[in-house]
């Protein structure tokens, strides 16, 4: 059985896909859906992405609709999905695509769009436009490392992985092949306990023949994440809480949030100075970022003084609609509880 034969039977049913072997839709919204899904899937699971994808495509059905959206609305819709620079780049890219009248079809032209890296450009070119392109994500890295028994550790191994991926990528059904590799890695050639006996490539897998496919790809040891701490402030008046907008760059950039003391996340290292009033600790929430673990103490400030700086009063009963990032959503739930 070839990999494409396997994919024809076992392909995942995903809202942004067309069935295996089907012709690509003659619909300008199709490249948009492919692009949107690939951006959302970066470092995020399919399960987490599905509801966000459906929400985005319901609110903004085409790239032209997304290009007209307010940055704040997009950031709010993205809240909870994480890696918020993706959302900022999403809007920039949508506006660039709309300005040129649609998505380009080649990797070279796609790479000129803001926020598009080599993987995303190759995925769009192959899946949305049927071009032969070498698509290498984490799943493909794992499959190639085991299939060809690549012993060199990551990230140095990526040159060899790409060479072998290029060698096996066919000229026809390039999009289906790319997706078949992703599905094989996610369903069969998994990070732990790979299901080798169900793999259509078992007989040609050098890693399996060597006896320890699970140890591939060889990864460098993980560095311990530093621990950080900070303070956020809950300022409530007449059933409304004071929210601020974070700077456009830096962590959680452009998102609504509770005012805080900076906790080394803002570009200038400064935060929102608390107003005068009685302060009471409500406890702390913990959150892990890619680079650090954060413990954020939540302090309620009581008093009648109006907070300084720019912000808005938001109904506490509708706080879930504010689009707070996960860290501050946790803090809001703690305050309400």
Same domain, 235 and 119: no
Per-residue pLDDT at 128 exceeds 50? yes
Evaluate whether 212 touches 149 at the Cβ level (below 8 Å).
no
Same domain, 179 and 65: yes
Q: What is the pLDDT of residues 276-308, one digit of tens each?
A: 678 899 999 999 988 889 999 999 998 777 777
Domain annotation covers residue 221: no
Last-in-domain residue among 215, 246, 264: 215
Poorest-pLDDT segment among 127-131, 196-200, 257-261: 257-261
Q: Give the pLDDT of residue 266.
A: 38
Q: Which long-range contacts (CB under 8 A, 24 or more apart) does 244-250 make?
A: 244/272, 244/309, 244/310, 244/311, 245/72, 245/310, 245/311, 248/88
Q: What is the pLDDT of residues 324-334, one digit of tens each?
A: 999 999 999 99
Q: Point out the catalytic residue in the list 38, 107, 141, 297.
A: 38
CATH of the domain at 269: 3.90.79.10
Same domain, 238 and 132: no
Number of folded domains that form the chain:
2
Same domain, 77 and 53: yes
Same domain, 254 and 211: no
Same domain, 209 and 238: no
Same domain, 101 and 32: yes
Same domain, 25 and 167: yes
CA angle in degrees (0–180, nearest 5) for 91-95-99: 170
**107 in active site:** no
Q: What is the pLDDT of residues 217-232, one digit of tens each?
A: 999 888 888 899 999 9
Written as six digits, the tokens of 9 are 């039977």
Last-in-domain residue among 188, 215, 242: 215
Same domain, 128 and 80: yes
Same domain, 54 and 137: yes
Range of the domain at 235: 227-336
CATH of the domain at 41: 1.10.340.30
Domain annotation covers residue 63: yes
Last-in-domain residue among 154, 180, 215: 215
Q: What is the pLDDT of residues 17-46, one digit of tens each?
A: 999 988 888 898 999 999 999 999 998 999
């Amino acid at each position: 059985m070839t990999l494409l034969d396997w994919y024809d039977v076992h392909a995942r049913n995903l809202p942004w896909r067309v069935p295996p072997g089907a012709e690509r839709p003659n619909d300008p919204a199709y490249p948009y859906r492919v692009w949107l899904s690939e951006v959302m899937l970066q470092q995020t699971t399919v399960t987490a992405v599905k509801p966000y994808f459906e929400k985005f495509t319901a609110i903004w059905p085409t790239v032209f609709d997304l290009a007209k959206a307010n940055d704040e609305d997009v950031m709010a819709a993205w809240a909870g999905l994480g890696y918020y620079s993706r959302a900022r780049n999403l809007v920039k890219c949508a506006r660039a695509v709309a300005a040129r009248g649609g998505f380009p079809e080649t990797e070279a032209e796609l790479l000129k769009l803001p926020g598009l890296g080599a993987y995303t450009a190759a995925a769009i070119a192959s899946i949305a436009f049927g071009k032969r392109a070498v698509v290498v994500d984490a799943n493909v890295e794992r499959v190639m490392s085991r299939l060809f028994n690549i012993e060199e550790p990551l990230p140095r191994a990526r040159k060899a992985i790409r060479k072998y991926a290029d060698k096996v990528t066919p000229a026809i059904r390039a999009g289906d092949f790319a997706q078949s590799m992703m599905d094989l890695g996610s369903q069969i050639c998994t990070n732990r306990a790979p299901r080798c006996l169900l793999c259509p490539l078992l007989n040609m897998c050098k890693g399996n023949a060597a006896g320890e496919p699970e140890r591939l790809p060889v990864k460098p040891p993980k560095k311990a994440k530093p621990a950080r701490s900070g303070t956020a402030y809950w300022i409530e008046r007449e059933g409304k809480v004071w929210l601020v907008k974070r700077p456009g760059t830096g962590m959680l950039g452009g998102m609504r949030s509770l005012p805080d003391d900076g906790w080394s996340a803002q570009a200038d290292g400064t935060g929102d100075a608390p107003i005068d009033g009685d302060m009471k600790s409500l406890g702390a929430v913990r959150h892990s970022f890619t680079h650090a673990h954060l413990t954020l103490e939540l302090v309620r400030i009581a008093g009648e003084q109006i907070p300084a700086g720019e912000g808005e009063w938001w109904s506490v009963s509708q706080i879930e609609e504010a689009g707070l990032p996960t860290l501050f959503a946790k803090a809001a739930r703690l305050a309400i509880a």
